[in-house]
Structure 1
């Protein structure tokens, strides 16, 4: 989940972008973000393109808003591998309408995910706990830290969008009426610690969380079915609004995450490179596990990319030409 305050649209600095020259693949820039999944994806793209197709791609570090805004306004960086487009929908929609950018593969095939999660071992023991209706029948399985006589849902840090949504959905689904309370963990680290402790003790826990994350790669969790579809209008009206007094039952939406490229790049780049960007997509489960390995081993994005390539040849070979696959294998 990329829940962050967006206070200003800052243009990316031009230093390091350079002029695009696409002959024989040529030179272009890939935007890496300041979170792990985007970092490893940018490094994966760079390794595959530079070694498999003879490109001279360079990675520039940015963040969602400035990277996408600069792509639309200036055509650079030429590629944003992991673009959380729902964070800047107007900018993306305008860029697509004006023909300034092209949307290629869904970087995360199952989208970015937010929701309420329980440990998989609980669902294995009692399948009805995969649903909110089942969870609400059993507050005793999810004891509150300060009041074990009540059930609890562990919430995220104050101010996060997902924290506000959890507070609102707790009202909408009448968790207090089912003997549940919302517990503020105060920080992402404390929320992680609560989940890790519950998992280590094989105890029950219901928690707000998101994917892709290294924690879900380390601890198998199940996102429970809230029993209703996402209603975008209600989400905008009340679910995501902290001071809205009458929230209705709703579900978390899927966050759309795509690879965006400049129009100029899409027209001038080698067709095999565009074909790669049109196919390259992976699941949250794949990324979660890779991020867990990176965290456990304090690995860089480059090391994570090589780990993925070595462990998942059947996946990435479907994205590239046979000739490129041979060169990538040789580089590994």
Structure 2
């Protein structure tokens, strides 16, 4: 796995499948993005990228709500995959991307190359992938949280699908992972079983968790279900730069990825209230997960979820507003 990417693939790093995040979830918020010139109000229009996974959708929703209700901007949002979004941002069709898991080729082309994109700071959320068990399992078997002890508990995680081995639940098959190699290279008596698409994976874990069943799974943060499930990470050998370069020989943990924001250079240089606000926008994984839960689990629209969070967290977002 590249250290620059999320659980998702390079071509679609964070593509969330249909399921918990209902299709058209941004219908009440999203309008087709257009250039500032087409709106007739360039100075009071902001065009934001909306990714297709719910955690990043709520970044945009909260930012858009505050830009509109506190700073008086019109916000246009456009949902697209990340590479096209970088292309659009370089052309000024999108002003900012608020959650990026790392696009080194685009950074080389647009940040280091033609200087059309500039950094806008970190989001405050750190992306992390790992192996997890429910807290109720860890409470009963405290040493299960070290990979060196997993073979001791293989019988605990057996299922009809895994036979005589413990079951390891893999993530969406389109996501980048090296769990097969980890299990083999760490000498673990576990059989990796694909859960299917993300929605199927989440539904399976939800059912197991509600029934207090033991499970060992690929998992990541930010992820809204962390607001509804208490999971504990299993310690893998520490990550060191380059330890995942040979995909077949991987025997180390996944790296942490501080998520970044980016802006169109011209938009940033105008130093508008909107640009300053978006640079200041920074919140925690827990805050993002909570708003994502409002959308994915509580079935609120992103706009209503953003409104609820804004009304309940004034002390947090007030610091994001540019000083007059």
TM-score bucket of the superposed structures, by smaller chain: 0.7 to 0.9
Structure 1: distance between partners of 2:43 and 2:140:
53
2:112 paired with 1:97? yes
CA deviation profile, 1:248-276 (whole Å, cap 9, x unmatched)? 41111223421111111111132x43332
2:231 paired with 1:221? yes
2:97 paired with 1:77? no
Q: Are the equivalent residues in 1 in contact too, given 2:127–2:222 (CA < 8 A)?
A: yes
> After the TM superposition, which residues 25-174 of structure 1 pair with which residues of structure 2 at under 5 Å, given as runs?
25-72=43-90, 74-84=91-101, 86=102, 88-98=103-113, 99-107=115-123, 109-147=124-162, 149-162=164-177, 165-174=178-187
Give 1:24 shift. 9.6
Q: Which structure has greater helix proportion?
A: 1
Structure 1: distance between partners of 2:156 and 2:233:
16
**261, 269, 275: which one pairs with 1:267?**
269
Closer, same or farther: CA 110–34 of 1 in aligned 2, 3 Å: closer
Q: Are the equivalent residues in 1 in contact too, given 2:7–2:175 (CA < 8 A)?
A: no
Give 1:120 shift. 2.1
Q: Are the equivalent residues in 2 in contact too, given 1:113–1:212 (CA < 8 A)?
A: yes
Structure 1: distance between partners of 2:41 and 2:165:
65
Structure 1: distance between partners of 2:156 and 2:274:
51
Give 1:153 shift. 0.9
Structure 2: distance between partners of 1:249 and 1:6:
25
**TM-score, normalised with respect to structure 2:** 0.82
Aligned counterpart, 1:235: 244
Q: Are the equivalent residues in 2 in contact too, given 1:140–1:150 (CA < 8 A)?
A: yes
Query: Where does structure 1 lack aligned partners over 5 or more consecutive residues?
Result: 8-13, 239-243, 324-332
Query: Where does structure 2 lack aligned partners over 5 or more consecutive residues?
Result: 1-5, 13-31
Structure 2: distance between partners of 1:140 and 1:146:
13
SS of the residue corresponding to residue 76 of structure 2 reads strand
Closer, same or farther: CA 186–27 of 1 in aligned 2, 3 Å: closer
Closer, same or farther: CA 15–55 of 1 in aligned 2, 3 Å: closer
CA deviation profile, 1:261-312 (whole Å, cap 9, x unmatched)? 1111111132x43332233222222222322222222222211211221232
Q: Are the equivalent residues in 2 in contact too, given 1:33–1:64 (CA < 8 A)?
A: yes
Q: Are the equivalent residues in 2 in contact too, given 1:17–1:28 (CA < 8 A)?
A: no
CA deviation profile, 1:192-215 (whole Å, cap 9, x unmatched)? 233112211212110012222232
Structure 2: distance between partners of 1:112 and 1:273:
26
Q: Give me the CA root mean square deviation.
A: 2.7
Q: Are the equivalent residues in 1 in contact too, given 2:33–2:78 (CA < 8 A)?
A: no
Structure 2: distance between partners of 1:183 and 1:287:
29
**231, 249, 252: which one pairs with 1:250?**
252
Closer, same or farther: CA 21–106 of 1 in aligned 2, 3 Å: farther
Give 1:15 shift. 6.2
Q: Are the equivalent residues in 2 in contact too, given 1:22–1:268 (CA < 8 A)?
A: no
SS of the residue corresponding to residue 118 of structure 2 reads strand
Structure 1: distance between partners of 2:196 and 2:282:
34
> After the TM superposition, which residues 312-327 of structure 1 pair with which residues of structure 2 at under 5 Å, given as runs?
312-321=313-322
Give 1:127 shift. 3.5
Aligned counterpart, 1:280: 281
Greater alpha carbon shift after TM alignment, 310-319 vs 255-264: 310-319
CA deviation profile, 1:139-165 (whole Å, cap 9, x unmatched)? 233223435653221112434322xx1
